[in-house]
Amino acid sequence: MYFRPLRRLLAGVTFMLLVGIFLLWRIDSPRVERLRADLTDRFVPNFEWAMAPVTGTVNIAKDFQSYQQVYEQNQQLRRELQQMKAWKEAALQLEQQNAQLRDLNNVRLDPKLTHVTGVVLADSGSPFRQSVLLNVGARDGIMDGWATMDGVGLVGRISGIGGETSRVILLTDSHSRIPVTIQPSGQRAIIAGDNAASPLIEFLEDPDMVRPGDRVVSSGDGGVFPAGLLVGQIAQGPDQRLRVRLAADYERMKFLRILRKQPNAPITDTGAMLAPALSSQTGAGIIPLQDSQ
Amino acid sequence: METLSSRTVIYWLGYFGLAMLIIMLNILPLQTVPPEFFSMNAVSLESNATTMFGLVFAVLKSFLADFVLSLVSTPNVLLAFTCAWVLRKPEYVPVMLIGAVFLLADFLLQRPPGLYAAVVIIGTEFLRRRVMELRGAPFLVEYLTVAGVIFAIAIMYRIFSSVAVITPPDFWLLFLQAVSTIVIYPLVVFVTQAVFGIRSVMPGQLDEGRGRL
């Protein structure tokens, strides 16, 4: 009774429809991704009332687990605190010195680099992709490609915006590629996510000049990100490949800040003269001519 | 459609609600750190692995922890439930509903839309045609059939995404997902029967609202 032609036809039609949607996505990806963003926008915020208690409960359970390690951690923190006090002293002195020098130089920090803070609503939901969904979107003026940080380091970039939600592709996602500079040596490289906790470093010119522990910051190449955002530290895997231990705390992602970025003024033509605009009403070059007649 | 009882419609809604619940639990922002299964990563292993024994112990421990974690976090519960329902009461999960639910899952879980759904349709239609044969057969037979279908779905998904020249999903991760889905299948069957009350109609039994089979 389940082999009736009608059922077969229905299955066939459903199958073709799905394949059709897939092909449409393959051909015209941006439009279908737009639809995806809209669907996410429609569905996920509605889950929020249910998600909050579940997330809370699981986090409490996790916290209980971590009580075991608290004593050990406490001892370790005490030791670190001793070292940190020395560092803090040094930092304070440097800060004062820095402020004085800034004052002397009349340096003004980039005022365009403001940020919007969003709350993490959801993650990608499968181990195949690494992304999170934030509760800010086009309504808040978020745009594709903006950098996202937690308090300390870079987390990822915005990719996909709905009205009230936007998706952040994390640096660990296998599609993420970010240009970086490795600090003391100043070498340029790309960090490439591979769905592992620490992304790989690729296209490094001279690996001998890089040591584990070096600081990795964004380089601003390609106009993707502002330069100088902290990404993490170099670490070396047992397979001798260089990876980045990320500075951002991926375990506890709750609030993320999205850095607003104004695009650079685009250069549209090759070499026109820098002159006031010539038009019949306000043209500065024409009026004096008429006055002289 | 014959005998479109209100009971059937309620189960359609139930299936949809269950699917939404599973998707919601999946996308809870609990696991923002990528799971590490077979990719040995330096950072988790470096601590106190000075002796050989310590190293072996650390590797074993992290592997075990990863395995347990993977069993919790990776299985495709939705697929397991769908297979269990199709084999018990095919009329509660019509093709179009499965297609719609998995398409929505594709969209919400960042998969290429439609591809996984289409592959799942192939798998569940295969199961649907064997409902009569599997009815009354021992559970082991059903289990093996479903295991085969779940593996076939993973393999077809992988092959089709290669054919369509999109970045194919990580092979080990897909394999692990299939294995963990199969591992949880008996539990899903138990829940299906005990909680939702969906059982196969045995030969000679009365099917509600339809009379003798």
Is A287 a residue whose pLDDT tops 50?
Answer: no
Nearest CA in chain B to A199: B41
Out of A3, A18, A44, closest to residue B114 by CB: A18
Residue A67 DSSP one-character state? G
Residue-range definition of the domain harbouring residue B46? 42-72
pLDDT tens, residue by residue, B6-15: 888 888 999 9
For A96, A121, A172, A230, B191, the CA distances from A257, given in Å and listed in that order, are 27, 14, 18, 14, 42
Which band of pLDDT confidence, cut at 50, 70 and 90, is reported for residue B213?
very low
Is B86 a residue whose pLDDT tops 60?
Answer: yes
What pLDDT does B204 receive? Answer: 60
Least confident of A150-159, A278-287, B26-35, B159-168: A278-287
What pLDDT does A109 receive? Answer: 57
At which residue do the structure tokens 């799971």 appear?
Answer: B35
Which chain B residues are within 8 Å of A127, Cβ to Cβ? Answer: 31, 34-35, 70, 73-74, 173, 177
Domain A115-259 has CATH 1.20.58.100: no
Within this chain, do residues B198 and B162 fall inside the same structural domain, yes or no? Answer: yes
Least confident of A47-61, A276-290, B89-103, B170-184: A276-290
Within this chain, do residues B68 and B86 fall inside the same structural domain, yes or no? Answer: no
**Could you tell me if residue B212 is inside a domain?**
no
Nearest CA in chain B to A241: B42
For A155, A233, A258, B33, B55, the CA distances from A248, given in Å and listed in that order, are 6, 11, 14, 11, 28
Nearest CA in chain B to A237: B42
Interface with chain B: mutation pick from A126, A168, A236, highest number of B CBs within 10 Å: A126
Q: Which three-class secondary structure state does DSSP give residue A222?
A: helix
Out of B44, B90, B118, closest to residue A18 by CB: B118
Boundary of a domain, candidates B72, B93, B125: B72
At which residue do the structure tokens 């939702």 appear?
Answer: B196
Query: How many residues would you count in chain A?
Result: 293
* Cα of A112 to nearest chain B Cα, Å: 30
What pLDDT does B26 receive? Answer: 80
Within this chain, do residues B106 and B164 fall inside the same structural domain, yes or no? Answer: yes
Q: Is the alpha carbon torsion for B43, B49, B50, B51 positive or negative?
A: negative
Inter-chain touch B109–A126, beta carbons under 8 Å: yes
Within this chain, do residues B126 and B59 fall inside the same structural domain, yes or no? Answer: no
What pLDDT does A252 receive? Answer: 77
Inter-chain touch B164–A39, beta carbons under 8 Å: no
Nearest CA in chain B to A243: B42
Average pLDDT rounded to a whole number, residues A44-68: 74
Which chain B residues are within 8 Å of A18, Cβ to Cβ? Answer: 99, 103, 114-115, 117-118, 121
Rounded to the nearest integer, the mean pLDDT of chain B is 79
Inter-chain touch B29–A121, beta carbons under 8 Å: yes
What pLDDT does B41 receive? Answer: 45
Q: What percent of chain A has pLDDT over 70?
A: 85
Inter-chain touch B110–A58, beta carbons under 8 Å: no
Helices and strands of chain B, counted as H and E runs: 9, 2
Rounded to the nearest integer, the mean pLDDT of chain A is 81
DSSP per-residue codes, B61-120: HHHHHHHHHHHHHS--HHHHHHHHHHHH-GGGS-HHHHHHHHHHHHHHTTSPTTHHHHHH
Nearest to B166 by CA among A191, A27, A127, A202: A27
Residue A272: what residue type?
A: A
> Residue A246 pairs with which residues in a beta bridge?
A232
By the 10 Å C-beta count (0-12 exposed, 13-18 middle, 19+ buried), B59 is classed as: middle
What pLDDT does A116 receive? Answer: 87
- Higher-scoring residue by pLDDT: B32, A222: A222
Is B149 a residue whose pLDDT tops 90?
Answer: yes
Whether chain B has a CB inside 8 Å of the CB on A269: the answer is: no
Average pLDDT rounded to a whole number, residues A214-221: 87
**Could you tell me if residue B209 is inside a domain?**
no
pLDDT tens, residue by residue, A85-124: 888 888 888 888 888 887 777 665 565 667 888 888 888 7
Average pLDDT rounded to a whole number, residues B163-180: 83
Inter-chain touch A122–B173, beta carbons under 8 Å: no
**Could you tell me if residue B37 is inside a domain?**
no
Domain boundaries, chain A: 9-66, 115-259
> Residue A147 pairs with which residues in a beta bridge?
A157
CB-based contacts of B175: which residues, under 8 Å, 6+ apart?
Answer: B154
Inter-chain touch A128–B35, beta carbons under 8 Å: no
Tokens coding A43? 């569905």
Within this chain, do residues B47 and B106 fall inside the same structural domain, yes or no? Answer: no
CB A129 within 8 A of CB B110: yes
pLDDT tens, residue by residue, A124-137: 777 788 889 998 98
Per residue in B88-123, is it b (16+ CB within 10 Å) or e — as a string?
A: bbbbbbbbebbbbbbbbbbbbbbbbbbbbbbbbbeb
Complex ipTM, two decimals?
0.76
Within this chain, do residues B65 and B145 fall inside the same structural domain, yes or no? Answer: no
Within this chain, do residues B51 and B67 fall inside the same structural domain, yes or no? Answer: yes
Whether chain B has a CB inside 8 Å of the CB on A255: the answer is: no
Tokens coding B56? 């072996």
Within this chain, do residues B135 and B199 fall inside the same structural domain, yes or no? Answer: yes
Least confident of A14-23, A108-117, A214-223, B94-103: A108-117
Whether chain B has a CB inside 8 Å of the CB on A226: the answer is: no
CB-based contacts of A218: which residues, under 8 Å, 6+ apart?
Answer: A147, A154, A178, A179, A180, A181, A224, A225, A226, A227, A228, A229, A231
Within this chain, do residues B46 and B26 fall inside the same structural domain, yes or no? Answer: no
Q: Is the alpha carbon torsion for A120, A125, A130, A133 positive or negative?
A: negative
* Cα of A47 to nearest chain B Cα, Å: 7
Whether chain B has a CB inside 8 Å of the CB on A5: the answer is: no
Nearest CA in chain B to A32: B113
Interface with chain A: mutation pick from B87, B107, B163, highest number of A CBs within 10 Å: B107
Q: Half-sphere exposure of residue A255, counting CA atoms within 13 Å on the CB side?
A: 6
CB B115 within 8 A of CB B162: no
What pLDDT does B51 receive? Answer: 58
pLDDT tens, residue by residue, B24-63: 888 877 666 666 544 444 344 444 445 566 666 666 666 6
Is A64 a residue whose pLDDT tops 60?
Answer: yes
User: Number of structural domains, chain B?
Assistant: 2
pLDDT tens, residue by residue, A69-86: 788 888 888 889 988 888
CA dihedral A46, A50, A53, A58 (to 10 degrees): -100
Nearest to B44 by CA among B54, B27, B59, B28: B59
Within this chain, do residues B90 and B186 fall inside the same structural domain, yes or no? Answer: yes
Nearest CA in chain B to A4: B129
Within this chain, do residues B117 and B186 fall inside the same structural domain, yes or no? Answer: yes
> Residue B127 pairs with which residues in a beta bridge?
none
Q: Is the alpha carbon torsion for A16, A19, A23, A29 positive or negative?
A: positive
Is A66 a residue whose pLDDT tops 90?
Answer: no
Tokens coding B147? 């295991």
Q: Which three-class secondary structure state does DSSP give residue B155?
A: helix
Tokens coding A278? 């010539």
Out of A130, A239, A245, closest to residue B43 by CB: A245
Within this chain, do residues B176 and B122 fall inside the same structural domain, yes or no? Answer: yes
What pLDDT does A264 receive? Answer: 60
* Cα of A144 to nearest chain B Cα, Å: 17
Inter-chain touch B39–A14, beta carbons under 8 Å: no
Least confident of A243-257, B84-98, B149-163: A243-257
Average pLDDT rounded to a whole number, residues A220-239: 83
Q: Number of CB pairs < 8 Å for A and B?
A: 167
Q: Half-sphere exposure of residue A268, counting CA atoms within 13 Å on the CB side?
A: 2
